[in-house]
Amino acid sequence: MGQACCCIQIDQSTVAIRERFGRFDDVLEPGCHCLPWFLGSRIAGYLSLRLQQLDVKCETKTKDNVFVNVVASVQYRALANKASDAFYKLSNTRTQIQAYVFDVIRASVPKLNLDDVFEQKNEIAKAVEDELEKAMSAYGYEIVQTLIVDIEPDEHVKRAMNEINAAARLRVAANEKAEAEKIIQIKRAEGEAESKYLSGLGIARQRQAIVDGLRDSVLGFSVNVPGTTAKDVMDMVLVTQYFDTMKEIGAASKSSAVFIPHGPGAVRDIASQIRDGLLQANHHQ
Protein backbone atom coordinates (compact mmCIF):
# COMPACT_ATOMS: atom_id res chain seq x y z
CA MET A 1 0.00 0.00 0.00
CA GLY A 2 2.86 2.32 0.83
CA GLN A 3 4.57 1.62 -2.46
CA ALA A 4 1.27 2.17 -4.30
CA CYS A 5 1.21 5.65 -2.77
CA CYS A 6 4.93 6.10 -3.57
CA CYS A 7 5.79 6.28 0.16
CA ILE A 8 7.85 3.88 2.28
CA GLN A 9 8.77 3.68 5.97
CA ILE A 10 12.25 2.74 7.21
CA ASP A 11 12.51 1.48 10.81
CA GLN A 12 15.02 2.76 13.38
CA SER A 13 18.57 1.29 13.24
CA THR A 14 17.89 0.17 9.67
CA VAL A 15 18.73 1.63 6.27
CA ALA A 16 17.22 0.78 2.87
CA ILE A 17 19.08 0.50 -0.40
CA ARG A 18 17.21 2.27 -3.20
CA GLU A 19 17.84 1.43 -6.82
CA ARG A 20 16.63 3.09 -10.01
CA PHE A 21 16.26 0.85 -13.04
CA GLY A 22 18.50 -1.76 -11.35
CA ARG A 23 21.30 0.64 -10.46
CA PHE A 24 22.23 1.85 -6.95
CA ASP A 25 20.65 5.22 -6.31
CA ASP A 26 20.73 6.11 -2.61
CA VAL A 27 20.75 4.89 1.00
CA LEU A 28 17.48 5.71 2.77
CA GLU A 29 17.76 6.42 6.50
CA PRO A 30 15.01 5.69 9.07
CA GLY A 31 11.79 7.59 8.46
CA CYS A 32 9.30 8.13 5.65
CA HIS A 33 10.56 8.42 2.10
CA CYS A 34 9.05 8.97 -1.33
CA LEU A 35 9.57 6.08 -3.72
CA PRO A 36 8.25 6.88 -7.25
CA TRP A 37 8.09 3.35 -8.57
CA PHE A 38 6.75 4.56 -11.88
CA LEU A 39 10.13 6.28 -12.41
CA GLY A 40 11.97 2.99 -11.93
CA SER A 41 12.73 3.41 -8.20
CA ARG A 42 12.54 0.38 -5.94
CA ILE A 43 13.94 -0.96 -2.64
CA ALA A 44 16.70 -3.49 -3.30
CA GLY A 45 16.95 -4.51 0.32
CA TYR A 46 17.39 -3.50 3.94
CA LEU A 47 20.55 -3.39 6.07
CA SER A 48 20.52 -3.49 9.88
CA LEU A 49 22.87 -1.14 11.74
CA ARG A 50 22.45 -2.99 15.03
CA LEU A 51 25.38 -4.64 16.76
CA GLN A 52 25.53 -8.30 15.80
CA GLN A 53 27.43 -11.21 17.30
CA LEU A 54 28.87 -14.28 15.65
CA ASP A 55 30.26 -17.22 17.64
CA VAL A 56 32.86 -19.22 15.73
CA LYS A 57 34.09 -22.62 16.94
CA CYS A 58 37.43 -23.58 15.43
CA GLU A 59 39.28 -26.88 15.94
CA THR A 60 43.06 -26.67 15.78
CA LYS A 61 46.23 -28.24 17.20
CA THR A 62 48.70 -26.77 19.66
CA LYS A 63 52.48 -26.93 19.48
CA ASP A 64 52.53 -29.91 21.87
CA ASN A 65 50.11 -31.83 19.60
CA VAL A 66 46.91 -31.35 21.60
CA PHE A 67 43.69 -30.78 19.65
CA VAL A 68 41.54 -27.99 21.07
CA ASN A 69 38.29 -26.27 20.13
CA VAL A 70 38.67 -22.48 20.34
CA VAL A 71 35.42 -20.51 20.52
CA ALA A 72 35.69 -16.89 19.36
CA SER A 73 32.90 -14.35 19.73
CA VAL A 74 32.96 -11.53 17.14
CA GLN A 75 30.83 -8.41 17.63
CA TYR A 76 30.38 -6.36 14.45
CA ARG A 77 28.03 -3.92 12.73
CA ALA A 78 27.52 -2.26 9.36
CA LEU A 79 28.61 1.36 8.97
CA ALA A 80 25.90 3.78 7.90
CA ASN A 81 28.27 5.80 5.72
CA LYS A 82 29.36 2.61 3.92
CA ALA A 83 26.00 0.92 3.71
CA SER A 84 26.24 0.43 -0.06
CA ASP A 85 29.55 -1.41 0.31
CA ALA A 86 28.15 -3.61 3.08
CA PHE A 87 25.09 -4.44 0.95
CA TYR A 88 26.69 -5.02 -2.45
CA LYS A 89 30.23 -6.27 -1.80
CA LEU A 90 29.42 -9.23 0.44
CA SER A 91 26.83 -11.89 -0.21
CA ASN A 92 27.33 -13.69 3.14
CA THR A 93 28.94 -11.57 5.85
CA ARG A 94 28.95 -14.26 8.56
CA THR A 95 30.70 -16.82 6.35
CA GLN A 96 33.35 -14.26 5.44
CA ILE A 97 34.03 -13.38 9.09
CA GLN A 98 34.16 -17.05 10.01
CA ALA A 99 36.79 -17.70 7.34
CA TYR A 100 39.05 -14.93 8.68
CA VAL A 101 38.65 -16.21 12.26
CA PHE A 102 39.61 -19.73 11.19
CA ASP A 103 42.66 -18.40 9.35
CA VAL A 104 44.03 -16.36 12.26
CA ILE A 105 43.34 -18.95 14.98
CA ARG A 106 44.88 -21.80 12.97
CA ALA A 107 47.92 -19.62 12.32
CA SER A 108 48.39 -18.53 15.96
CA VAL A 109 47.50 -21.51 18.17
CA PRO A 110 49.93 -24.05 16.57
CA LYS A 111 52.81 -21.81 17.68
CA LEU A 112 51.85 -22.18 21.37
CA ASN A 113 51.78 -25.00 23.90
CA LEU A 114 48.45 -25.82 25.52
CA ASP A 115 49.20 -23.94 28.75
CA ASP A 116 50.35 -20.92 26.75
CA VAL A 117 47.10 -20.92 24.76
CA PHE A 118 45.15 -20.42 27.99
CA GLU A 119 47.55 -17.73 29.19
CA GLN A 120 47.67 -15.82 25.87
CA LYS A 121 44.04 -15.98 24.80
CA ASN A 122 43.82 -12.17 24.93
CA GLU A 123 46.71 -11.90 22.47
CA ILE A 124 44.97 -14.40 20.17
CA ALA A 125 41.73 -12.40 20.36
CA LYS A 126 43.63 -9.18 19.55
CA ALA A 127 45.24 -10.83 16.50
CA VAL A 128 41.82 -11.98 15.25
CA GLU A 129 40.33 -8.54 15.81
CA ASP A 130 43.16 -6.74 13.98
CA GLU A 131 42.90 -9.06 10.98
CA LEU A 132 39.10 -8.75 10.83
CA GLU A 133 39.20 -4.96 11.20
CA LYS A 134 41.66 -4.66 8.35
CA ALA A 135 39.69 -6.97 6.06
CA MET A 136 36.09 -6.04 6.87
CA SER A 137 36.53 -2.25 6.82
CA ALA A 138 36.82 -2.48 3.04
CA TYR A 139 33.35 -4.05 2.96
CA GLY A 140 31.64 -1.44 5.13
CA TYR A 141 31.72 -3.31 8.45
CA GLU A 142 33.21 -2.34 11.81
CA ILE A 143 34.62 -4.96 14.18
CA VAL A 144 33.64 -3.72 17.64
CA GLN A 145 35.25 -6.46 19.74
CA THR A 146 36.59 -9.99 19.48
CA LEU A 147 36.72 -12.34 22.47
CA ILE A 148 38.08 -15.84 22.97
CA VAL A 149 35.29 -17.11 25.20
CA ASP A 150 36.26 -20.77 25.51
CA ILE A 151 39.17 -23.16 24.96
CA GLU A 152 38.12 -26.80 25.06
CA PRO A 153 40.83 -29.50 24.93
CA ASP A 154 39.95 -33.10 24.25
CA GLU A 155 38.11 -34.79 27.14
CA HIS A 156 41.02 -37.17 27.83
CA VAL A 157 43.42 -34.23 27.94
CA LYS A 158 41.21 -32.36 30.40
CA ARG A 159 41.00 -35.43 32.62
CA ALA A 160 44.79 -35.81 32.54
CA MET A 161 45.27 -32.13 33.39
CA ASN A 162 42.89 -32.46 36.34
CA GLU A 163 44.74 -35.55 37.56
CA ILE A 164 48.08 -33.72 37.34
CA ASN A 165 46.65 -30.79 39.28
CA ALA A 166 45.12 -33.11 41.88
CA ALA A 167 48.41 -34.99 42.29
CA ALA A 168 50.30 -31.73 42.79
CA ARG A 169 47.81 -30.58 45.43
CA LEU A 170 47.99 -33.96 47.20
CA ARG A 171 51.78 -33.72 47.24
CA VAL A 172 51.61 -30.26 48.83
CA ALA A 173 49.04 -31.51 51.35
CA ALA A 174 51.26 -34.51 52.23
CA ASN A 175 54.26 -32.23 52.78
CA GLU A 176 52.21 -29.93 55.00
CA LYS A 177 50.85 -32.89 56.97
CA ALA A 178 54.34 -34.35 57.43
CA GLU A 179 55.65 -30.97 58.57
CA ALA A 180 52.77 -30.66 61.07
CA GLU A 181 53.44 -34.17 62.44
CA LYS A 182 57.13 -33.32 62.72
CA ILE A 183 56.33 -30.22 64.76
CA ILE A 184 53.94 -32.22 66.98
CA GLN A 185 56.59 -34.88 67.63
CA ILE A 186 59.22 -32.25 68.41
CA LYS A 187 56.89 -30.47 70.83
CA ARG A 188 55.91 -33.79 72.41
CA ALA A 189 59.59 -34.76 72.86
CA GLU A 190 60.37 -31.34 74.33
CA GLY A 191 57.43 -31.72 76.70
CA GLU A 192 58.52 -35.21 77.77
CA ALA A 193 62.10 -34.01 78.30
CA GLU A 194 60.90 -31.08 80.42
CA SER A 195 58.55 -33.38 82.34
CA LYS A 196 61.31 -35.89 83.07
CA TYR A 197 63.65 -33.09 84.11
CA LEU A 198 61.11 -31.67 86.55
CA SER A 199 60.26 -35.18 87.79
CA GLY A 200 63.96 -35.83 88.43
CA LEU A 201 64.25 -32.59 90.40
CA GLY A 202 61.22 -33.59 92.46
CA ILE A 203 62.60 -37.05 93.19
CA ALA A 204 66.02 -35.62 94.10
CA ARG A 205 64.41 -33.12 96.49
CA GLN A 206 62.23 -35.85 97.97
CA ARG A 207 65.23 -38.08 98.64
CA GLN A 208 67.18 -35.16 100.06
CA ALA A 209 64.30 -34.40 102.40
CA ILE A 210 64.15 -38.05 103.49
CA VAL A 211 67.88 -38.10 104.17
CA ASP A 212 67.69 -34.83 106.12
CA GLY A 213 64.76 -36.15 108.17
CA LEU A 214 66.51 -39.41 108.98
CA ARG A 215 69.66 -37.56 109.96
CA ASP A 216 67.74 -35.28 112.30
CA SER A 217 65.92 -38.26 113.83
CA VAL A 218 69.16 -40.15 114.47
CA LEU A 219 70.85 -37.13 116.03
CA GLY A 220 67.84 -36.34 118.22
CA PHE A 221 67.43 -39.94 119.41
CA SER A 222 71.15 -40.25 120.21
CA VAL A 223 71.05 -37.10 122.32
CA ASN A 224 67.91 -38.06 124.24
CA VAL A 225 68.83 -41.75 124.74
CA PRO A 226 72.49 -42.08 125.75
CA GLY A 227 74.33 -45.24 124.71
CA THR A 228 72.46 -45.80 121.43
CA THR A 229 74.28 -45.91 118.15
CA ALA A 230 73.24 -44.66 114.76
CA LYS A 231 72.73 -48.29 113.63
CA ASP A 232 70.25 -48.97 116.42
CA VAL A 233 68.30 -45.85 115.55
CA MET A 234 68.21 -46.67 111.82
CA ASP A 235 67.02 -50.24 112.50
CA MET A 236 64.23 -48.96 114.71
CA VAL A 237 63.20 -46.29 112.16
CA LEU A 238 63.12 -48.80 109.31
CA VAL A 239 61.06 -51.31 111.35
CA THR A 240 58.62 -48.54 112.25
CA GLN A 241 58.29 -47.47 108.60
CA TYR A 242 57.86 -51.13 107.62
CA PHE A 243 54.88 -51.59 109.93
CA ASP A 244 53.38 -48.27 108.84
CA THR A 245 53.63 -49.38 105.24
CA MET A 246 52.01 -52.74 105.99
CA LYS A 247 49.21 -50.93 107.80
CA GLU A 248 48.54 -48.70 104.78
CA ILE A 249 48.59 -51.69 102.42
CA GLY A 250 46.12 -53.52 104.61
CA ALA A 251 43.81 -50.51 104.74
CA ALA A 252 43.60 -50.33 100.93
CA SER A 253 41.36 -53.09 99.50
CA LYS A 254 42.61 -52.70 95.93
CA SER A 255 46.32 -52.29 96.62
CA SER A 256 48.68 -54.16 94.28
CA ALA A 257 51.95 -53.50 96.20
CA VAL A 258 53.95 -56.64 97.10
CA PHE A 259 57.17 -56.83 99.19
CA ILE A 260 59.73 -59.46 98.16
CA PRO A 261 61.13 -60.88 100.40
CA HIS A 262 58.28 -60.42 102.87
CA GLY A 263 58.56 -60.55 106.65
CA PRO A 264 59.97 -58.46 109.51
CA GLY A 265 63.31 -60.28 109.28
CA ALA A 266 63.82 -58.90 105.80
CA VAL A 267 63.98 -55.38 107.22
CA ARG A 268 67.47 -56.15 108.55
CA ASP A 269 68.68 -56.88 105.04
CA ILE A 270 67.08 -53.66 103.74
CA ALA A 271 68.65 -51.69 106.59
CA SER A 272 72.06 -53.17 105.82
CA GLN A 273 71.73 -52.21 102.16
CA ILE A 274 70.69 -48.63 102.97
CA ARG A 275 73.44 -48.24 105.57
CA ASP A 276 76.09 -49.57 103.21
CA GLY A 277 74.89 -47.19 100.53
CA LEU A 278 75.07 -44.19 102.86
CA LEU A 279 78.55 -45.18 104.06
CA GLN A 280 79.77 -45.53 100.48
CA ALA A 281 78.34 -42.13 99.61
CA ASN A 282 80.02 -40.51 102.61
CA HIS A 283 83.29 -42.21 101.71
CA HIS A 284 83.19 -40.79 98.16
CA GLN A 285 82.39 -37.30 99.47
214 vs 283, higher pLDDT: 214
CB atoms within 10 A of CB 104: 20
Q: Which CATH architecture has domain 52-153?
A: 2-Layer Sandwich (3.30)
Exposure string for 31-49, b = 16+ CB within 10 A, e = fewer: eebebeeeeebbbbeebeb
Query: What is residue 8's predicted lDDT score, i.e. its pLDDT?
Result: 84
H/E stretch holding 160 reads: helix 155-224
- Whether the predicted pLDDT of 15 surpasses 80: yes
Q: Where are the domains of the chain?
A: 7-48, 52-153, 229-285
- Whether the predicted pLDDT of 9 surpasses 50: yes
Q: 70 CB contacts (<8 Å, ≥6 apart)?
A: 57, 58, 59, 60, 105, 109, 117, 124, 148, 150, 151, 152
Query: What is residue 1's predicted lDDT score, i.e. its pLDDT?
Result: 42
Query: What is residue 154's predicted lDDT score, i.e. its pLDDT?
Result: 79
Q: 147 CB contacts (<8 Å, ≥6 apart)?
A: 72, 73, 75, 125
Query: What is residue 31's predicted lDDT score, i.e. its pLDDT?
Result: 86
Amino acid found at 8: I
In this predicted model, what pLDDT tens digit does every residue of 123-160 receive, in sequence order?
999 999 999 998 898 899 999 999 999 888 877 777 77
Q: How far apart are CA 234 and CA 270, in angstroms?
A: 11
Share of the chain above pLDDT 70, in %: 79
Query: What is residue 53's predicted lDDT score, i.e. its pLDDT?
Result: 93
34 vs 2, higher pLDDT: 34
CB 88 within 8 A of CB 24: yes
CB 103 within 8 A of CB 134: no
Q: How far apart are CA 118 and CA 68, in angstroms?
A: 11
In this predicted model, what pLDDT tens digit does every residue of 189-237 receive, in sequence order?
888 888 888 888 888 887 788 777 767 777 776 677 676 676 666 666 7
| DSSP character string of 98-155 | HHHHHHHHHHHGGGS-HHHHHHTHHHHHHHHHHHHHHHHGGGTEEEEEEEEEEEEE-H
In this predicted model, what pLDDT tens digit does every residue of 37-78 receive, in sequence order?
778 888 888 999 999 999 999 999 888 888 889 999 999 999
End-to-end CA distance of the chain: 134
- Whether the predicted pLDDT of 281 surpasses 60: no
- Burial-class residue 193 by CB neighbours within 10 Å (0-12, 13-18, 19+): exposed
* DSSP state letter for 29: P
Angle at 178 between CA 171 and CA 176, to 5 degrees: 55
Query: What is residue 271's predicted lDDT score, i.e. its pLDDT?
Result: 61
> Residues 84-96: what's their mean pLDDT?
88
> Residues 281-285: what's their mean pLDDT?
52
